Amino acid sequence: MSDSPSATTDNLSASTDQVMGRGFRLLGRGMSEQRFLFTISVVGSVVYGAMTVADAWVLGWATDHVIRPSFEKGEMVKGALAVSVLLFMTVAILRALGVIARRLIGGIVYYRLVADYRRRVTRRYLALPMSWHHKHPTGQLLSNANADVEAAWAVFMPLPMAIGVIAMLVAAVVAMLLADVVLTVVGLVVFPALFGINVFYQRWLSPKVSHAQSLRGDVSAVAHESFDGALVIKSLGREADETARFARHAEALRDANIAVGRIRSIFDPLLEALPNLAVLAVILIGIDRVASGAAAPGDVVQVAYLFTVVAFPVRAIGWVLGELPRSVVGWDRVRTVLDATGEMPYGSRELDGAGPARLRLEDVRFEYEAGTEVLSGVDLDLEPGRVVAVVGATGAGKSTLTSLLTRLVDPVSGRVLVDEVDVRDLTHGSLAEHVAVVPQSTFLFDDSVRENVTLGADVPDDGVWAALRAVQADGFVSALPRGLDTQLGERGTTLSGGQRQRLALARALVRRPRLLVMDDATSAVDPEVEQRILAALAEHTADEDGPSVLVVAYRKATIALADEVVFLDDGRIADRGTHAELIGRSADYRLLVDAYDQAREAGDLA
């Protein structure tokens, strides 16, 4: 738990020029990935810009050929009026089509990029080993897949309009020069100032936007940690402290966003005012030129109107420049996931055997950090259809052993073999089809009992009930309001700890695994119920279709049901044999299992 509001803040040390360069490369990446649709959106934006300029020309033409002659003659020039109406309608329809293409297709480009990269990030999460996930807070990973992906591609919302604006500006300048060179030069004086202010604006705004975006990940990480630790926080009466901790991060984000807002409050009015000043200057000088006969009223109207309609879209260029720093920060955070290394390699072999699986470990060594050895020289054989119990003190390496068997991690050296096949030579998903693990911590989804047991697999209700009966869970499930269709709530909070563990066991059994790995999976179950469950499992393993079972156990009664007991001590196999044999010859083993039973009787060991 970090108290620093910027504990996970990315340090954007690159200069603004470097950020802009990287931002433009990011734009190129997005354009190339959505080339066809992006081209359509840009074409729509160009059509919109061209029709905006055409609208100004039609307005000028109508001024000279309809409005002015009508005032001079005292009657409406009907033929010219019909032409002007037709021209206005044509331009309006084409401009509307351009707006639809720009906004609709441009939005599709943005949302497709976001959806694609969310999928890429989540696929990368699945490919990376658990050791990588242990080093990255869940809140940060959620932020990477959500807020950071959105930030990375948010610049594509104003981008088509900005590109269309550039085309509009070129067409507008040409149209204004053809109408009146003097008035065009007067109006254009404001554009260098406008672009200069925009550049200064982005240089000032860029680091503050980047800082605010990175703080979003901090807030997400702290919020997720608070939700996950709600039970600890409330049971220890630390609500006020945790609220204060979250407040520090939230206030840091608030202050960062306010700093961004202050800069925008200074520059936005200025950027709005400059084009209006240009329009005012054009009108004032245009009046004098019309009075002297140097310009026609239609030309003045056309140039003034063009400056009016061009002023706002020019801001789209500023929006793109303003979004680029935030996009770069979001992309950097997304890229840390996409570029992460350490994914597990897979082979081309399949496990296609039937009946109980054989498990063998050969001189297995594992360490989480360099120099911190957890398992060393472990050799283990689990014959098909047998039950092996693994016993050891806390930190002996029992849970690590179960992670190796299900290939959540790979050994530093040695081999883990199932049916004499190294698990590293198996295709992706092949091991999971034959091996089921029930971990210490039970996780249930906010879904029905049926979906929590099957996890979407096509299992008939008879199969679900058979699995529930095997783990002594059919009774309490039948008593639920809607049976298998009962919603369990987030993490299964409507059930007791023992009931959750039994559903997790049923989830493993319904898959009909050939190897069942249980990591203290019945710790919250009543001893009497546990005995019935384990007895049923032991009977099941005797069948030709039953699984081989490896169970991390603590209770004497549980251990006694195993065909063989493996005693782990400090990452090594200290002894092995039946429970009775180890009790008779190993003082350390006897002290350990006696201590566990005494602790359970005293209620100190969950």
Query: Given a cut of 80, is residue 589 above it in pLDDT?
Result: yes
CA 549 to CA 564: how far, in whole Å?
A: 11
- For the cut 50, the answer to whether the pLDDT of residue 84 exceeds it is yes
* Least confident window among 358-372, 460-474, 476-490, 589-603: 589-603
Determine the pLDDT at residue 213: 67
Q: CB atoms < 10 A from the CB of 232, how many?
A: 10
Confidence class for position 5, pLDDT limits 50, 70, 90: very low
The pLDDT value given to residue 345:
80
Spatial separation of the C-alpha atoms in residues 491 and 499, rounded to whole Å: 12
Give pLDDT tens digits for 256-292: 888 888 877 777 777 677 777 777 777 888 888 878 8
227/217 Cα distance (integer angstroms): 15
> What are the residues whose beta carbons fall under 8 Å from the beta carbon of 147, sequence distance 6 or more?
213, 216, 217, 220, 330
Q: Where in the chain is the domain with CATH 1.20.1560.10?
A: 21-338
pTM for the full predicted model: 0.65
Residue 602: band (very low, low, confident or very high) from pLDDT cuts 50, 70, 90: low
Tell whether the model's pLDDT for residue 7 goes beyond 60. no
H-type alpha helices, 485-565: 497-509, 527-541, 556-560
Sign of CA dihedral 594, 595, 597, 598: positive
Q: What superfamily would CATH give domain 21-338?
A: ABC transporter type 1, transmembrane domain (1.20.1560.10)
Query: In this model, does residue 542 exceed pLDDT 80?
Result: no
Give percent of the chain above pLDDT 90.
Answer: 3
Which letter does DSSP use for residue 487 in this model?
B
Length of the chain: 606
Res 434: pLDDT:
86
C-alpha dist (Å) from residue 62 to 72, 126, 294, 297, 302? 14, 64, 19, 11, 10
Q: Which strand ranges, in their side-by-side order, compose the sheet holding 572-577?
A: 435-438, 515-519, 548-552, 387-392, 564-569, 572-577
pLDDT on residue 8? 39
pLDDT for position 114: 93
Note the pLDDT of residue 13: 39
Angle at 330 between CA 328 and CA 331, to 5 degrees: 65
**Best CA proximity match to 156, nearest among 337, 336, 319:** 319
Question: For the purposes of burial, counting CB atoms within 10 Å of the CB of 580, is it exposed (0-12), middle (13-18) or buried (19 or more)?
Answer: exposed
Closest CA to 5 of 211, 151, 143: 211
H or E element, residue 363: strand 359-369
**What is 443-520's CATH superfamily?**
P-loop containing nucleotide triphosphate hydrolases (3.40.50.300)
Contact by Cβ (8 Å): 51, 91: yes
- What residues does CATH 3.40.50.300 cover in the chain? 443-520
- Convert the pLDDT of each residue in 355-387 to its tens digit: 888 889 998 888 876 667 888 888 888 888 888
Chain-centroid distance, C-alpha 65: 60
CA 357, CA 351: separation in Å to the nearest integer?
10
Rounded to 10 degrees, the C-alpha dihedral 592/521/346/342 comes to: -70
Tell me the C-alpha distance between 555 and 534, whole Å.
12
Judge contact between 499 and 473, C-beta under 8 A.
yes
What pLDDT shows up at residue 368? Answer: 74
Residue 451's pLDDT band (boundaries 50, 70, 90)?
A: confident
The secondary structure of residue 54, as a DSSP letter, is H
Q: In what order do the strands lie in the sheet with 359-369?
A: 372-382, 359-369, 413-418, 421-422
- Compute the distance between CA of residue 457 and CA of residue 454 in angstroms, rounded to an integer: 5
Beta bridge partners, 388, equal: 550, 564
Highest averaged pLDDT of the listed ranges 173-187, 424-438, 517-531: 424-438
Q: What is the mean pLDDT of residues 306-310?
A: 69
The pLDDT of residue 6 is: 42
pLDDT reported for residue 59: 74
Tell me the pLDDT band of 604, cut-offs 50, 70 and 90.
Answer: very low
More confident residue, 168 or 476: 476
Mean pLDDT of 460-489: 85
Average pLDDT value for residue range 51-64: 75
Mean pLDDT of the chain: 79
Q: With 60 as the cut, is the pLDDT of residue 603 above it?
A: no
Q: If you compute the radius of gyration of the chain from its CA atoms, what whole number of angstroms results? A: 35
pLDDT at residue 343 is higher than 80: no
- Residue ranges of E strands in 429-513: 435-438
The token pair at 161 is 């309009």
Give the C-alpha separation, 580 to 560, whole Å: 8
Contact between residue 151 and residue 220 where contact means Cβ atoms under 8 Å apart: no
**Closest Cα to residue 319, out of 102, 165, 115, 149?**
165
Q: Is the pLDDT of residue 168 over 90?
A: no
| Chain centroid to CA 574 | 44
User: Do 438 and 513 form a contact (C-beta atoms < 8 A)?
Assistant: no
SS3 379: strand
Q: Report which of residues 255 and 440 the model is more confident about.
A: 255
CB of 157 closer than 8 Å to CB of 106: yes
Q: How far apart are CA 166 and CA 46, in angstroms?
A: 9
Asked if residue 467 has pLDDT above 70, the reply is: yes
More confident residue, 531 or 580: 580
